[in-house]
Structures are given as C-alpha cells and as structure tokens.
Amino acid sequence: MSEPLLKLEGVHTHIGAYHILHGVDLEVMPGEMTVLLGRNGAGKTTTLRTIMGLWKATAGTITFRGEAIQALDTPDIAHRGLAYVPENMGIFADLTVCENMLLAARNARHIDQMDAKRLDWLFGLFPALKTFWQHPAGLLSGGQKQMLAVARAIIEPRPLLLIDEPSKGLAPSIIQNLISAFRELKQTETTILLVEQNFNFARQLGDRVAVMDDGRVVHAGSMADLVGDEGLQQKLLGLSLASHS
C-alpha cells in the first residue's frame, strides 16, 4: 500500500484554556476521498483548522507528503498544496465572484492570467459562477456561495482539499449538484478530506471514513465496510446521524 498523503499522529489542540483534540490519529490516502464523521462538537472542524495551522497543535505530528507541517504558518501550509473550504465558506462578500477567484489563483496577478481552460472546466461544474461572474459574491445564494468556495479551492490544482460540511443548509437538489461536482473532481486525482454529517451524502462519495468523538478518531476504515455493516453504523453513528437521515 502507498504512503498516506496526510497523516496525523497523536494530535492535541488547545483553544485557549480548552483541551479540544485529545490525540487524533488520521490517515488520508492519495487520490481518495476520506470522510470525517462525528456528532456535533466532536472536533471535526478543529481537526481541519489544526491541519491548516489556524489552530496550532500543542502535541503530535501532522505529516504532509512526508514533511512535518504542524509548526508551519497557515500561508506556508497553503503553499504546500492544501486548500481549505471552511464551514462558513469564507467568501469575500464585497468582492465579485471573479475577484474571489483571482485571489485564490496565486499564480495570476490579473484576471487575464487565470487559466482559461480550467475556468471553463469550473464553469462546467458550477454554471452559476459564470452567470454571476461580475456580481458581488455576497449576493449569491447559500448553494452558489458553497460552489464558489469549492471552485476557489481548486482554481489551481491542489493535491489536498479540506472541505468542512459543504452540504450544510442546502436543499437536496443543490446537494445533488455538489455530489456530481465532487464525483468529477475525484477523476482529477485530487485527494479530499471531507467533513460531513450527512451520511447519505458521504456514502455516495467516500472511499474511506473516519469517525470522531470527543476529540479522538474512534473508528477508521473503508466506506464500503461501514455501508455494509448496519450494526457498525448503529454503534458509531446512531447518536449523531439519526436526526440527519
């Protein structure tokens, strides 16, 4: 088996006086989508933020492509090739859709320097972006903002995407759009670590799954195994997902 692209070993995170992550172990294999499940407050967002360096791990190691990144600053981590779609999407509301994309395209100093082919591909995935290209991003609907947030993360090829609950608050038809977009994205060898509470969404896309509870990963395995094992689902997700299915 190949080496994991991203590996967390015994990661602890404190936020102020609170001890939030209690030794997270997690492996993300290249080219796969790993879904991070777990009830509210389990520490999923904190895990992603710690990987991005937005919180600093107080103990443990985070290895990306063999390099320890837990002590790096967020911009340096981004430059290693990690892209982050936060829970609140992080859209710059005053800027246009186009300007949001330009800021995400680190290699382009000007709109004309953005990769036109890649933009066309993105417009294919998310047609709304093309329609509202020159409009302030703050005017987009929730689903459109989510699409912009994802598009921004992949405007240039990035080896690893961290995406936090993209389905949150979206109508089922929009979620279906996202699922097809992620399917197509998976064809491009992009590795994705997806936080998702919607198991229905997760099962359609995930290759692997890790379940968190109380600041730890309490289960890790293949998605197929979890989908095939109702008992395991009940045990791991009964608490968290009953209300979501």
Partner 1 sequence: MKIPDSPAQIMETLPSVKTDRLPLFLLPALALVALPLIGSFSTWVTLTFAGLAMGMIIFIIASGLTLVFGLMDVMNFGHGVFITLGAFIAVSVLGRMAGFTESPSLVRNLIAVVPAMLAAMVAAGALGLVFERIIIRPVYGQPLKQIMITMGGMIVAVELIKVIWGAQAIPLPLPEAFKGSLLFGETAIEKYRLIAVVVGLVIFAMLFWILSRTKVGLLIRAGVHDREMVESLGYRIGRLFIGVFVAGSALAGLGGVMWGLYQQSVTPEMGGAINVLLFIVIIIGGMGSIGGCFLGALMVGLVNNYAGFLAPKVALISNILLMVIVLLWRPQGIYPAGKA
Ligand X SMILES: Nc1ncnc2c1ncn2[C@@H]1O[C@H](COP(=O)(O)OP(=O)(O)OP(=O)(O)O)[C@@H](O)[C@H]1O
List residues binding ligand X (CB under 6 A). Answer: 15-16, 18, 20, 38, 40-46, 197
Instruction: Give the helix, strand, coil percentages of the chain, each rounded to 5.
Output: 40, 25, 35
- When the beta carbons of 13 and 100 are compared against ligand X, the nearer one is 13
Q: Which residue has the tokens 């509301």?
A: 93
Amino acid present at 99? E
Q: What is the dihedral of CA 166, 171, 175, 178, to 10 degrees?
A: -70
Select from partner 1, ligand X, Mg ion, none the partner in contact with residue 244, using the beta carbon and a kind-dependent cut-off of 5 to 8 Å.
Answer: none
In contact, 189 and 29? CB cutoff 8 Å: no
DSSP secondary structure string, 146-215? Answer: HHHHHHHHTSS--SEEEEE-TTTT--HHHHHHHHHHHHHHHTTT-EEEEE-S-HHHHHHH-SEEEEEETT
Q: Which residues bind partner 1 (CB under 8 A)?
A: 52, 54, 73-75, 78-79, 83-84, 86, 88, 90, 92-95, 99, 102-104, 106, 109-112, 114, 116, 119, 123, 130-136, 138-140, 152
When CB distances are held under 5 to 8 angstroms depending on the partner's kind, the choice from partner 1, ligand X, Mg ion, none that residue 224 binds is none
Residue closer to ligand X (CB basis): 99 or 213: 213
For Mg ion, the closer CB: 87 or 99: 87
Q: Single out the residue of 135, 38, 63, 58 nearest to residue 92, CA to CA.
A: 135
Q: Which is nearer to ligand X, 9 or 87 (CB)?
A: 87
Identify the residue among 20, 21, 26, 45 touching Mg ion (CB under 5 A).
Answer: 45
Taking the alpha carbons of 42, 232, 162, 176 in that order, is the dihedral positive or negative?
negative
Nearer to ligand X, 125 or 211 (CB): 211
Q: Distance of CA 195 to CAs 1, 35, 106, Å?
A: 24, 6, 25
Contact, 92 vs 100, CB < 8 A? yes
Stretch that binds Mg ion, among 41-49, 63-71, 113-121, 207-215 (CB under 5 A): 41-49
Quick one: what does residue 166 bind among ligand X, partner 1, Mg ion, none, with the CB cut-off 5 to 8 Å set by partner type?
none
Q: Quick check: 191 binds Mg ion (CB under 5 A)?
A: no
State the nearest-atom distance from the C-beta of 73 to Mg ion, in Å.
22
Residue 54's binding partner among Mg ion, ligand X, partner 1, none (Cβ under 5 to 8 angstroms by kind) is partner 1
Given the rule CB under 5 A, which residues bind Mg ion? Answer: 45
